[in-house]
Structure 1
């Protein structure tokens, strides 16, 4: 913080003295969150000179505003123009101080690319001004540092250039907000001037675009102060090295290097930020609940970050961290690994059937018994239950934190038997939909394991996520699809058989038996594979293509062979019948227009990460999938989704909707089309009440989607005929 720094006793900084202007800037950059500059001349060479301070400032999330003169060097003009007019595709890791410092220290092409990126991302905002009526040039040399609580302003004789900060006999006077009223008045005045320039309220200047910047040429502008605007790169390093003879400056630079070293090695919240209020409360609730609990959080609300923040808080207490993270798919192994890296967690080991993990885990297991070694193990549910992994798992210290992503998977038959044997005492379960449909035994086991039950210690609904801007708003269009005559005939035959088998007991409750289950699945298969879905799907594609002129960022959920009651995990593959279905729907997409590029995203797809990257970039326009985009996979660029699968499983359709509603900077809202197959049954038919009950269940999904949609009323009106046919009321559903 600014108040903790050792500022010059007389608040003066002079070139060649113990207190160099460079010293002032380094202290200010390293201890503030905002930097506001009023400049006469500006040269990016000054950023290079202060590279270690700038790297620290930017990596901590610092933002900078500059009002600059219209005269720049050729290279500086190019970088400002690029930054203001473009959004560079290149991405820099601004949390990596070492790499960033190196970039800002080299003053080569990479240096200018980094500056352009920072300008484009509005981490450095620039307002270019030119005085009117030829009244000389704007020659301000002042600025304000602030840390959110305190501020320091300064007035200087030196320009924000290499020569101004390092070579000329220049001086700078500082004003500290906590010292006296005069300082505060000056700071407020400086901020008013800067704010007026950025609001373009000062009529004494013209406000120029980047293209209007003039290049400073020595022969044209013979002012000595302009020399450094065209400074030769070869001169830069020599000048910089010669500065470090100042003892106090050396001490400050060494101090910053130590701070950087600490940042490199220690875990921290991503982007040097802080957790949101609900994430802090989640940690507190978890601790209060004996370090156990379920985080029932909608997609997009940060389940991963919330759970890793608990590990971070534990690390702050223990000075080490140990965790095992359970995930349903191999795709999520890498996704979690990236999230761990954002927290600067090291020694992350991934475990799946495709990797050689034994030696790494054996080493850290052994080392942790000798020294306080930190590590994180990310393992698929499929590998968790295998004997080879269990032999290592049982040796993990009991204080290891267990995080179960998509925690409902723990209720599957293959994993239920393991739960009582798990010795780890700290536990977090993550899921947007923790409840397992038709599986009270699995639900009870999960709740007991995490010492938690609905409404859970952490609960964040999709409604809250939409209202608070964590998910994007959407429009929803259900499309009623009818069965063909042949399909309807077979559907009725099975319905009559179910009626004779006694589908419901005397109290109207559903009866389950292997025979009934078999018949229900056979009938459900007719709904899933309904022939008329293809025509409805093709019409939606044609209409959307006509409106959008392309089908970029479209997800298609293809009907599965049948909606099964098992949990999805990594070893479930599409059947031969399902592969035929996905091929058929993929062909329909391809036939929409020659320009449409479509890819399948299935268990058989090779280079799935590459497929998602090309989709994100818009190279691949449409992804057709069946099961692989249900849990956890991030596809935030998705704008249009077509649900061709008639799923009645709340978890499945909630997970799928969540995939589509992820936020993206170039995305305004999402559109969802949903194919709803409703069998036409007469009121006089003996199976009417049975069908009415099942149609009502089908419409639960539709109502759930419609209630949170932007076009709720329009959606309800489109269902009127179906509701009338079955004497159903949406409010009851």
Structure 2
């Protein structure tokens, strides 16, 4: 089939019986390999408008060239004339200011179309400004040329009130010229393409062409998703066209089938008057359970307005939640302190105003802990007195002192999610968190998740290493100072005691012999994939220089063993992390991810099979989260393998020769390490074998219960 097989009209208008998107853009772009488009006013709404139908172009691996323009203010033009600002900088600032959060699900999906074309180098964009000796103005012309594989061309021109309002109202009128119909139409189609190509090559009199600002391009790329949904499918379901983001009610995605334990958890929450804490093992679908709970509550109070506030500890978790939230037919306001979302306050204020007037009955905002706690956010939600559902992910963080102050009593509906709700060394914070959320109403532990086949079975190998002489001496000296400080501080930990404890913990985390053990384990694993190495955020001295443990690990695996390695830390951007995860998943491009704490909570990399844990931690939340990262289900992954680096104060051969004082000094350290071993080993396939090597050590230190 080709363009010439389509029954196209000579004109399409938004006010007649023919739908421009369904009857023109989608059919023509279904046959296109090239799409050239020039429009006037630039805004996110305008981008969405011009992206109509290009889901079909993407399917055919087609290419697009786009020319946009920008309205400059008098002050902008004056600044350029006087030389205060460069034209390129003014254009970038102006276009960034005109890029707002999408106002509908369809608008967001169309931005996804453009983002996918950009990411795959199939879309080029330029900016046109009218320039002459007297002034600068906005380019107004609107033309398009669609070309199929046989050389057939459809050219169209349109008249549109070039304003942001006009685009938001989605009114268009276009005249159409088809190259195969007759000589006149062929000449007109050729002329339109010639005009476009002249502009593109900066050969049009009084018109200056600039490169599209990289900052705006990055902003568009933020809307890229892993897949592209057919626009025709969306329209046929009547779910999206002109539907306000705030009006979308939650529905289950077609791909999602709620599990029995998730139904059970939601039932318990409903019975507890929609308040409660869900203690669910990492990898069992807390996010989808929570969104199913949001749907349940929304269905129960269908005639009342509901504001859903979802709070995550980190920005990368917000972005991860965002995809799942959207899949439930909810388009959230994204609120955190990032320039990409700088208009979130206005959007939230508008949403609250409309909910308050009951113009709409559902709205959702997705934010971070720090933004939720901010005065600006709190001031906005304090103006709203109707129904609020507060959902807090990784809720153990909400027990911190600053967070507790914004757990508002007026919030009627509450849902807390955590695999590790108890706060380490903070019984008071744990208690207050439990009280606010009405206690733990449902638990789905790791054993049940493994036994029921929702998580992967695993083998556990405690790898024993010892401190060097220098490390052991420093550890002993610090232990003495800690004992004295604890005797003085009695009930409350002083700052000095806290610093001593941190310093001692770092000795274990950065133990030099961990790298020796890693070399020993990895020397026969050079050809393996799906490896993860957890490092501590610590430095150690290497040839007289302070070196980060993570950098040294990368050097060993990458330079010494010639493995394909990538770091995954807070220093990598969101886009870089996504690329790392994708390369890791394909089982060819990347063999090892070397990570620190940013993988502890929420990051989803189910393909991990072999985990090497160098980061010694006595905090159950941290080591339980780390295990959970490794046990997610993945195709072809029958078992996971965990290698845990256990630090002893000294070589095992020296233990029988210790004095009582030395045993006392070593004992607390070994007890903390063994608590982790016991936790990991109890559900492992090789439980007894994993523990047997430690038996003589525990016996020497009298640590058997």
Which band: TM-score by shorter chain? Answer: 0.5 to 0.7
Matched, 1:291 2:259: no
Contact 1:560/1:578, CA 8 A, preserved across alignment:
no
Matches within 5 A, 1:329-478: 329-354=314-339, 355-356=341-342, 357-370=344-357, 371-419=359-407, 421=408, 423-452=410-439, 456-478=440-462
Contact 1:408/1:435, CA 8 A, preserved across alignment:
yes
1:613 CA drift (Å): 2.2
Whole-angstrom CA distance in 2 between matches of 1:471 and 1:605: 28
Contact 2:278/2:415, CA 8 A, preserved across alignment:
yes
Judging changes above 3 Å, is the alpha-carbon distance between structure 1 residues 397 and 579 closer, same or farther for their aligned structure 2 residues?
A: farther
Contact 1:325/1:378, CA 8 A, preserved across alignment:
yes
Matches within 5 A, 1:539-554: 539-545=520-526, 549-550=527-528, 552-554=529-531
From 589, 598, 605, the equivalent of 2:565 is 598
Matched, 1:659 2:626: no
For residues 494-535 of structure 1, the C-alpha deviation after alignment (integer angstroms, 9 at most, x for no partner) is 233444556599xxx998444433333222221111111110
Contact 2:306/2:355, CA 8 A, preserved across alignment:
no
- 1:678 is aligned to 648
Contact 1:476/1:706, CA 8 A, preserved across alignment:
yes
Across the two proteins, how many residue pairs are aligned to each other?
A: 457
Matches within 5 A, 1:233-272: 260-261=237-238, 267-271=250-254
Contact 1:597/1:620, CA 8 A, preserved across alignment:
yes
Matched, 1:558 2:535: yes
Contact 2:307/2:363, CA 8 A, preserved across alignment:
yes
Matches within 5 A, 1:190-339: 260-261=237-238, 267-271=250-254, 273-319=256-302, 321-339=306-324
Secondary structure in structure 2 of the residue aligned to 1:423: coil
Whole-angstrom CA distance in 1 between matches of 2:412 and 2:370: 22
Judging changes above 3 Å, is the alpha-carbon distance between structure 1 residues 578 and 289 closer, same or farther for their aligned structure 2 residues?
A: farther
- 1:589 is aligned to 557
Whole-angstrom CA distance in 1 between matches of 2:486 and 2:332: 58
Contact 2:250/2:294, CA 8 A, preserved across alignment:
no
TM value normalised by structure 1: 0.58
Judging changes above 3 Å, is the alpha-carbon distance between structure 1 residues 605 and 273 closer, same or farther for their aligned structure 2 residues?
A: closer
Secondary structure in structure 2 of the residue aligned to 1:544: coil
Whole-angstrom CA distance in 1 between matches of 2:703 and 2:525: 31
TM value normalised by structure 2: 0.60
For residues 662-692 of structure 1, the C-alpha deviation after alignment (integer angstroms, 9 at most, x for no partner) is 1112322111111110113654231423532
For residues 349-396 of structure 1, the C-alpha deviation after alignment (integer angstroms, 9 at most, x for no partner) is 343434211222122122222312422111100111112222223234
For residues 443-500 of structure 1, the C-alpha deviation after alignment (integer angstroms, 9 at most, x for no partner) is 1210111111xxx211010111111111101111111111111111222222334445
1:581 CA drift (Å): 2.3
Whole-angstrom CA distance in 1 between matches of 2:238 and 2:702: 70
Whole-angstrom CA distance in 2 between matches of 1:339 and 1:496: 51
Whole-angstrom CA distance in 1 between matches of 2:412 and 2:333: 21
1:540 CA drift (Å): 1.6
Judging changes above 3 Å, is the alpha-carbon distance between structure 1 residues 663 and 416 closer, same or farther for their aligned structure 2 residues?
A: same
Whole-angstrom CA distance in 2 between matches of 1:583 and 1:342: 38
Runs of at least 5 residues in structure 1 that lack an aligned partner in the other structure? 1-98, 111-255, 563-576
1:621 CA drift (Å): 2.0
- 1:226 is aligned to none
Secondary structure in structure 1 of the residue aligned to 2:334: strand
Judging changes above 3 Å, is the alpha-carbon distance between structure 1 residues 388 and 643 closer, same or farther for their aligned structure 2 residues?
A: same
Matched, 1:520 2:487: no
Contact 1:337/1:348, CA 8 A, preserved across alignment:
no
Judging changes above 3 Å, is the alpha-carbon distance between structure 1 residues 288 and 644 closer, same or farther for their aligned structure 2 residues?
A: same
RMSD: 3.0
